[in-house]
Amino acid sequence: MNKNIVQFVFILFLLLPFAMNAHRPDRSLIYLRVYETAGIDGRFEIMASELDKYLGIDLGKHPSVEEVAVYSEKIQKYLLAHSAFSSVYGKHNIIFTDEISILNIDFGSFVAIHFKLDNIVQLPDELEVTYSVFFDENPLQTNALGMEYNWKAGLINNEKIMALDFTPGQKTKTLDLTDTSVWKGFMAMMKQGAWHIWIGIDHILFLLALILPSVVRREKVMLDIGNNQAVATKSSRWKWIAVGEFKPAFWYILKIVTFFTIAHTITLSLASLGIINLPSRWVESIIAFSIGLAAYHNIKPIFMGKEWAIAFIFGLFHGFGFATVLSELGFKGENLSLSLLGFNIGVELGQVVIILLIFPLLYVIRKSKLYPKLLVWLSALLIVISLYWLIERAFDIDMPFDEYLNGKIYPIVRFFGLV
C-alpha cells in the first residue's frame, strides 16, 4: 500500500472526529395537535444552545421564560423564514400565541414556542410541511415532527408519535392527517437510529477500534535471546498474521458487534422506561474512555480472546448515550415500545452498513506490510481522540480546537457529500 495513502488516512481520521461532535443535540422539533373544530395548533421545540449559537443570542444552558421572551421576536422571525404549512385549501400562516415554555433535560433546555395555523376552515386530509431550521448553519442537523393529538387519526391525548423526519436533502414532506402514522413512526425511528450511528462519530470510532484487528490474528512468536544455548532463555512478542478467508473474519466481527447491540439495547430500554438513569456527563465520559481502551487493546492485549466483553460492557454505556437521543425526541406513550424497537433496528442496520464499508477495504490491504503499522497508528490516534473527549466531557469544557476545525473541515466534508 502506498505510503501517501496511509498518511492521508491517518490525517483524515485525525481531523474528522474533532470536526464532528458526538451526541450533539442537533435536532429541532414540531409538535402538532389537530382538532375537529378548533383547527391545528402546535409548538416548536429548539435547544437553547442552538438558538445561542446560530441566532447570536445569549440564553445560556437553562434559560427562564422571561429570558427567552426578550428574544422572542428574533426567534419568531427566524422560524417564519424556515417553516411553512399548506394544504389543498392554500397556505396556512403560522400565528404565534406568545406562549413560551421550557423543557429542562440533563444536557440543556428545549425552548418551546407555541403557535396555531390560520385558514383551517375545514381539516385537510394532508398537510405539506417545510421545516429547515438550522440546515444552512449545520450540515448534521435533523428535524422531526410529532403528533400529540389528532382527531382525524383517532389519536388520544399525550400519545406522541413521530410522523415526519426532515433532513437537509428533504426539507418538505407531506403529513397524512388521516393516517395513524404507527408504521410511519416506526420507519422514522429506524431512520433516526441509523442516522444517529452515522453522525455519532464516537460510536463509529468505537466500532472502528473493534473492526481494525478483525482481518488479522494475533499470534505469539517465541524469540531466543540467550547467548549460551545450554541456558538459553526465551521471550515472546505478538505478531499480526493476516486472516486466510473473508467469511470467518466477517462473521467474527459481526458477532462482536452483536454483543455491542445486545448491550446497548438493554440500557437504552431501561433508560427510556425510566428504570435506570445516569448523568449524561458520566455516560459521555465513559463512552470516550471506551474508545481509548478498545484501541489500547489493539496495541497491547488486555482481554485476549474476549473482545466480545469489551463490546458488551461498554455497549451498556453507549445505550445510555442512545437514550439521550430519545429524550431529545420526547416521544412516549403506548408507542414507546415500537419507538425503541424501530430505533434499535435502525442502529443495528447503521452498524452493519459501517462494517460493510470498512471491513472489505481492510480485508484487501490486510497482507500489506504496512497494515500492522496502520493498525497501531490508528489505534494510537484513537487513544488521543479518546483522551481529548474524556477531558472535555469529564470536566465539562469546550476545547478551542473543535470550533477551529469545524470551520475548516465542514466545507470539505460537505463537498464530498459525507454528511
Provide the grid cell at 365: 490491504
Q: What letter represents residue 402's amino acid?
A: D
| CB 235, CB 223: distance < 8 Å | yes
pLDDT at 275: 84
Question: What pLDDT, in 10s, does the model give residues 196-206?
Answer: 787 778 888 88
The neighbouring-strand residues paired with 90 are: 87
pLDDT tens digits, residue range 265-293?
898 888 877 788 788 788 888 888 999 99
CA distances (Å), origin 267, targets 121, 284, 285, 383: 47, 14, 16, 25
Contacts 24+ apart (CB under 8 A), 253-259: 253/210, 253/211, 253/214, 253/355, 253/359, 254/352, 254/355, 255/308, 256/210, 256/214, 256/307, 256/308, 256/311, 257/207, 257/210, 257/311, 257/351, 257/352, 257/355, 259/308, 259/309, 259/311, 259/312, 259/315
Name the amino acid, one letter, at 375.
L
Q: How far apart are CA 163 and CA 309, in angstroms?
A: 38
- pTM score: 0.62
Written as one letter, the residue type at 153 is A
Backbone angles phi, psi at 289, to 5 degrees: -65, -35
Q: For residues 400 and 12, what is the distance between their CA atoms, to the nearest angstrom?
A: 19
Q: What is the spatial distance between Cα 212 and Cα 207, in angstroms, rounded to a whole number?
A: 9
Which three three-digit cell numbers place residue 106?
440533563
* Grid coordinates given for 122: 375545514
Question: What pLDDT score was predicted for residue 419?
Answer: 45
pLDDT at 158: 47
Cell output for 355: 462494517
How confident is the model at residue 303, as a pLDDT?
73
Q: Any idea where the domains of the chain sit in the sequence?
A: 3-22+200-222+237-415, 29-198
Is residue 200 within 8 A of residue 27, CB to CB? The reply is no
Residue 362 cell numbers, joined: 481492510
At a CB cut-off of 8 Å and minimum separation 6, what does 23 contact?
200, 202, 284, 321, 324, 325
Mean pLDDT by 10 residues, the chain (419 residues): 49 46 66 81 92 91 91 96 94 94 80 93 90 89 83 55 83 84 71 78 87 82 51 53 87 89 88 80 88 90 79 88 66 63 87 91 89 90 90 78 53 47
* Sequence-ordered list of residues with C-beta below 8 angstroms from that of 5, at least 6 positions apart, any chain: none
**What is the phi/psi pair of residue 108, to 5°?**
160, -155
Q: Which long-range contacts (CB under 8 A, 24 or more apart) does 96-99 make?
A: 96/72, 97/41, 98/72, 99/43
Alpha helices by DSSP H, listed for 334-370, are: 336-365
